[in-house]
Amino acid sequence: MRATSHRPGDAGDFAFTPETMAEAEKVMARYPEGRKASATIALLDLAQRQNGGWLPGEAIEYVANLLALAPIRVHEVASFYSMFNLKPVGRHFIQVCRTTPCWLCGSDDITRACLDTLGIGLGETTEDGLFTVVEVECLGACANAPMVQINDDYYEDLTPERMAEMIADLEAGKPVPSGSQTGRPGSCPAGGPTTLLEQSGNNRGQAVESEGSD
């Protein structure tokens, strides 16, 4: 797949849909008058989701107007946090964690598998608009390294081969199960649990409930 370039700002006029506005109003209602700026990150997230995963300037300034803030204040937030994209991204936005635990477990190989499979460079989007690949800092799943985040989901315990398979399935429109790709439950050791071997989740819940009823 070849990469394609995008020009930020070509999304035209921006406004929340009625559905998104309803969600925005719920968020803003959490904060008293004079403190609406606290809703900035949540509203930018709503705007980005509505706009296909990125924030054009119009969307940022729309949020600023909605919160009665100077536009520069909202531009500062959008440009500071890596969760916000200021240019278009693919439908499947692949973020490869490259912090120490993932790096030690082979994140460089995961990145290379993504780029070689898709025929693009870091930060680029495939010509069909399906995939963008970037590297990010710690995503917080260190025990199950190496891992990637694709849109809102985590994919853990990866190998280069499994990463290439996942990309092929996503390209074909097939579902890819999130979580550990080796079937590891939670963050237990790779070889299986070593403690609490006789205690099931249900038994634990019953014990807690019993203790609380005394």
Could you give the CA distance from residue 214 to residue 204 in angstroms, rounded to a whole number?
Answer: 16
Q: State the DSSP string of 67-94.
A: TT--HHHHHHHHHH-TTS-SS---SEEE
Question: pLDDT tens, 154-174?
Answer: 999 999 999 999 999 999 999
Write down the CATH number for the domain with range 92-180: 3.40.30.10
Question: pLDDT tens, 126-138?
Answer: 999 999 999 999 9
Question: pLDDT tens, 173-197?
Answer: 999 999 999 988 888 887 777 887 7
Q: Residue 125 corresponds to which amino acid?
A: T
Can you give the pTM of this predicted structure?
Answer: 0.80
Could you give the CA distance from residue 4 to residue 125 in angstroms, rounded to a whole number?
Answer: 6
Is the pLDDT at 12 greater than 90? The verdict is no
Confidence (pLDDT) at 200: 59
Confidence (pLDDT) at 184: 87
Is the pLDDT at 99 greater than 60? The verdict is yes
Pick the CATH number of 3-80 from 1.10.10.1590, 3.20.20.150, 2.40.50.100, 3.40.50.970: 1.10.10.1590
Q: How confident is the model at residue 203 (pLDDT cuts 50, 70, 90)?
A: very low
Confidence (pLDDT) at 96: 98
Question: pLDDT tens, 33-71?
Answer: 889 999 999 999 999 999 999 999 999 999 999 999 999
Could you give the CA distance from residue 64 to residue 66 in angstroms, rounded to a whole number?
Answer: 5
Contacts of 46 (CB under 8 A, 6+ apart): 16, 20, 23, 24, 27
Domain range annotation of the chain: 3-80, 92-180
